[in-house]
Structure 1
């Protein structure tokens, strides 16, 4: 019998049929079946949507008036996952942030290699702006590869000269597709979900020969100056621990407001187990408070960003 909630979650992950490095077409079925096994709570409302020509699902939870919008990107190594499979985690973010979450069905590799996912993310952000949502009322979030994509989007937004969103929160982000972090070795025996080999397989599918150090593929190597405030979370039992730690250090070095929170003994994207894991619930509470604070701050202040003046109202 497991000795704790964390032990139970780790045991569940170790016995999972999901092989992150396996054939993506087979593993997509496994991934979606695993996600479908968790029922969506009664307070969750979903609506099929399209943002800038990219399919998405609009998710609300809790029944209150939305304070803003969160653009959310699911994980799955850029080859697995979907907006539909991410609804539960997106709903947890919506409930705690009191915002409407738009989880994006960006194109997947290997059929659609880099930079297709980044192009879709940027198109979705433009879509929110085109729908009349001020940048000051938008936050960005995502888990695992989706966390890396969220950061790549922030860089792409800056490079495109668009007004920046209010904040970003990333969960166990994959930001280094070269797999150069020491935690790939030091946490290999502890991580029940990911391996260097599996991530290398997914990186190969996504990059399709592109440079793994490209800033929009591996945001760890990007110039992060000018990005909005960041919250970075990771568990200490994951091989991507160093991705989170080095990202926070890089952001601080580039004069970005950043908060790093590591959770001892927690595995990759442990936030997805918030209903049975105290650490997961506490992490999502932090995400919600962080996003609320920055969306509220932006909503109370007229922001001038270059030549653009955005007035957000509540």
Structure 2
């Protein structure tokens, strides 16, 4: 059963007063402010770097090994979110994994459409390698739309013949932007975070006419051969829950080691809702254990 803290978040989301017909700027501001309300782990350091013109925030919690890296692709449906807004979540990932987290501030739609976000994430990965990061001590991660991008990035890295990261972690990933027939109807979903109509708008904004089932844009249709071990975390109340289930099956069929963590009754991207949520603490502890077994020791 979800914790009282989780249910308080659900209540807040269900009763939040969103502006009618918000502008893109208002949507972005609201998204970021919700995340900026949380304070990073005490003692965390942040440095902002340029990865060949792409902003990358290096977030390091106390006790993290600066030679271990997690390249993090933030959520927001390719349209919202920012590296700055994700500093608190990144600090908790850093603390849990004992690694420095590099948050990619990729270009967002509609100003930059597909595959800009993926291209920028690949640029950031190349930059990490060029500055000495050991791929055997580097993982990819992302939440929501960023989780789908992280999985797609792993496939892109393999296709490019680059050294593979040691693992991929996807928090509540939104993977399939083509809306399979088995996508739950929004009237049948009680996820307070998402609606099908909202996801369709995000996908259309990002794709700008490109094919939604193109393997260049959709990890569910990509060649998954050779991907590193993958951890997927999803809640059964999450509108994108089936994405993780279907992706896990396809990845396993391609010979990929997959761990699928399913959390009963949890909503989309619960991990991002601050440090006091027990379910978030449990999930990040699982991530720490997963990466401890897969990132090479120094």
TM-score normalised to structure 2 length = 0.94
**What secondary structure sits across from 1:141 in the alignment?**
strand
Q: Which runs of 5+ in 1 are unaligned?
A: 300-313
8 Å Cα contact 2:40-2:89 kept in structure 1: no
The alpha-carbon deviation at position 193 of structure 1 amounts to: 0.7
**What secondary structure sits across from 1:156 in the alignment?**
helix
Q: What's the counterpart of residue 76 of structure 2?
A: 76
Distance 1:6 1:115 in 2: 34
> Counterparts of 1:6-155 in structure 2 under 5 Å?
6-17=6-17, 23-66=23-66, 68-155=68-155
Distance 1:22 1:250 in 2: 38
Q: What's the counterpart of residue 256 of structure 1?
A: 256
> Counterparts of 1:269-280 in structure 2 under 5 Å?
269-273=269-273, 275-280=275-280
The alpha-carbon deviation at position 26 of structure 1 amounts to: 1.8
The alpha-carbon deviation at position 73 of structure 1 amounts to: 0.7
**What secondary structure sits across from 1:233 in the alignment?**
strand
The alpha-carbon deviation at position 293 of structure 1 amounts to: 1.6
**What secondary structure sits across from 2:199 in the alignment?**
helix
8 Å Cα contact 2:67-2:133 kept in structure 1: no
The alpha-carbon deviation at position 81 of structure 1 amounts to: 0.3
TM-score normalised to structure 1 length = 0.89
The alpha-carbon deviation at position 187 of structure 1 amounts to: 7.8
State yes or no: 1:158 paired with 2:162. Answer: no
Aligned residues: 296
Q: What's the counterpart of residue 192 of structure 2?
A: 192
Deviates more, 1:216-225 or 1:5-14: 5-14
**What secondary structure sits across from 2:168 in the alignment?**
strand
RMSD: 1.9
8 Å Cα contact 1:114-1:210 kept in structure 2: yes
Q: Which runs of 5+ in 2 are unaligned?
A: none
Distance 2:251 2:22 in 1: 33
The alpha-carbon deviation at position 3 of structure 1 amounts to: 7.9
Distance 1:142 1:88, change over 3 A: same
8 Å Cα contact 1:43-1:63 kept in structure 2: no
Q: What's the counterpart of residue 304 of structure 1?
A: none
Q: Which runs of 4+ in 1 moved over 4 A?
A: none
